[in-house]
Amino acid sequence: MAATTIGLTTVSFGLAQETGVVVQSFTRTETMETSELSDYNGTHAAVAFSNRRFNVSLSGNATTAQGTIGAALSLTANATAISNGGTHYITDSSINLTNDGFLAFDLSASNFPSLGT
């Protein structure tokens, strides 16, 4: 169902429709490792940031389980939300089946930009 937003034009509402699945939520996190250097009295003297990584988590519904560990995550409609170069590789995959609900899935994927595609 399309939404009508009133007010700010600088915010987004909802997710784009993906083929074959219904994405209910989507999170992208950027992380980097830190290396810290302390001087003689234990005070931080320098810090370096390296090994940039993008992690994506999504939850949704589908007719079958989604994702194979180690496979590339392929999103078409929401691709710009995770676009940062390189490929996201699925690291975790789970499904939830209930008596009174639809098959639900959770996926996590990590991207290593320095590896390229």
Q: List pLDDT tens digits, range 89-102.
A: 899 999 888 899 88
CB-based contact 105:66 (threshold 8 Å): yes
DSSP collapsed to 3 states, the chain: CCCCCCCCCCCCCCCCCCCCCEEEEEEEEEEEEEEEEECCCCCEEEEEEEEEEEEEEEEEECCCCCCCCCCECCCCCCHHHHCCCCCEEEEEEEEECCCCCCCEEEEEEEECHHHCC
Percent residues over pLDDT 90 in the chain: 17
Supply the Cα-derived Rg of the chain in whole angstroms.
Answer: 19
- pLDDT of 82 reads 59
Q: How confident is the model at residue 66 (pLDDT cuts 50, 70, 90)?
A: confident
Q: What are 16's two structure tokens?
A: 């784009």
CB-based contact 28:55 (threshold 8 Å): yes
Does the predicted model carry a pTM greater than 0.75?
A: no
